[in-house]
Copies of this chain bind each other. A is one copy, B any other.
Amino acid sequence: MQLERLIDHIVTRVNINLRNPRADVRPYVSGLVAEDKFSQYYAFYALTPYHPIYFRFVYSSLAGTYFLGKCEVENSVLYKSDIRGDELKKRGTVVKVGDSDVTVYEDEIISIRSSILLKTLVHNNSHDPESLEVFRIRNTVALHFSNIHGTCTEGLLLMPFGTVDLTTIHDCVVGNFSYVQAGDLSHEHIGDGLVWVRAEDAFEFKYQHPQDALKKYVDYTPGQTPRGDFMAFLEERKEDFMPVYASVLPDPQEDIPDTALVSPYAVLKGDCRIGENVLVAQRAYVENSRLGDGGNAQENCYIVNSTYDGMNVTAHGGKVIHCHLGQKVFTGFNSFLRGNESCPVKVGNESIIMPHTIIDAEEPIEIPSNSLVWGLITTAKDLETHCMDLDEFAKLKGQFRLGEMTFEGSGKLFVDGFRKRIEHILEENGAYFDSDDTRGHAQTTQGSSYSLLQPYPQGPLKGLCPTVSIGDSGQGGRF
Is A469 interfacial (CB 8 A cutoff)? yes
Task: Establish whether residues A49 and B461, one from each chain, have CB atoms under 8 Å apart when the complex forms.
Answer: yes
Interface residues on A, range: 35 or more
Can you list, as one digit per residue, whether each of A84-127 has a CB less than 8 Å from chain B (1) or not (0)?
Answer: 00000000000000000000000000000000000000000000
Answer yes or no: A406 CB below 8 A from chain B CBs: no
Does A225 have its Cβ within 8 Å of any Cβ on chain B?
no
Q: Which residues of B contact A245 (CB under 8 A)?
A: 248
Indicate whether A248 sits within 8 Å of B42 (C-beta atoms), given known contacts A466-B47, A475-B459, A476-B460.
yes
Q: Which B residue's beta carbon lies closest to that of A54? A: B466
Give A47 Cβ to nearest chain B Cβ, in Å: 6
A211 on the B face (CB < 8 A): no
Instruction: Digitize A439-463: 1 where CB-to-B-CB distance is under 8 Å, 0 elsewhere.
Output: 0000000011111111111111110
Q: Which residues of chain A (1-47) have a CB below 8 Å from chain B?
A: 2, 5-6, 8-9, 39, 42, 47
A478 lies within 8 A of chain B by Cβ: yes
Within 8 A of B (CB), among A331-360: none
Beta-carbon contact of A454 and B458 below 8 Å: no
Contact present for B247 and A457 (CB under 8 Å) = no
Report whether B472 and A469 are in contact in the complex, using a CB–CB cutoff of 8 Å: no
**Contact: A457 with B448, CB < 8 Å?**
yes
* Residues from chain B with Cβ under 8 Å of A452 in the complex: 248, 451-452
Residue A224 CB within 8 A of the other chain: no
- Tell me what chain A mostly uses at the interface: helix, strand, loop, or mixed: loop
Closest CB in chain B relative to A123 CB, distance in Å: 22
A270 CB to nearest B CB, Å: 25
Looking at the complex, which one of B453, B464, B478 makes contact with A59 (CB distance below 8 Å)? Answer: B478
Given A8-B479, A452-B248: A458 touches B469 (CB 8 Å cut-off): no
- Min CB–CB distance A452 → chain B (angstroms): 4
Which residues on A are within 8 Å of B, measured CB to CB? 2, 5-6, 8-9, 39, 42, 47-49, 53, 59, 75, 245-249, 447-462, 464, 466-473, 475-479
Give the top 8 A-B pairs by smallest Cβ distance, nearest first.
A49-B459, A449-B454, A2-B477, A5-B479, A452-B452, A449-B457, A469-B469, A451-B454
10 additional A-B residue pairs with CB within 8 Å, beyond A8-B479, A48-B459: A6-B479, A47-B454, A246-B247, A246-B249, A247-B248, A451-B454, A459-B475, A466-B470, A466-B471, A468-B469
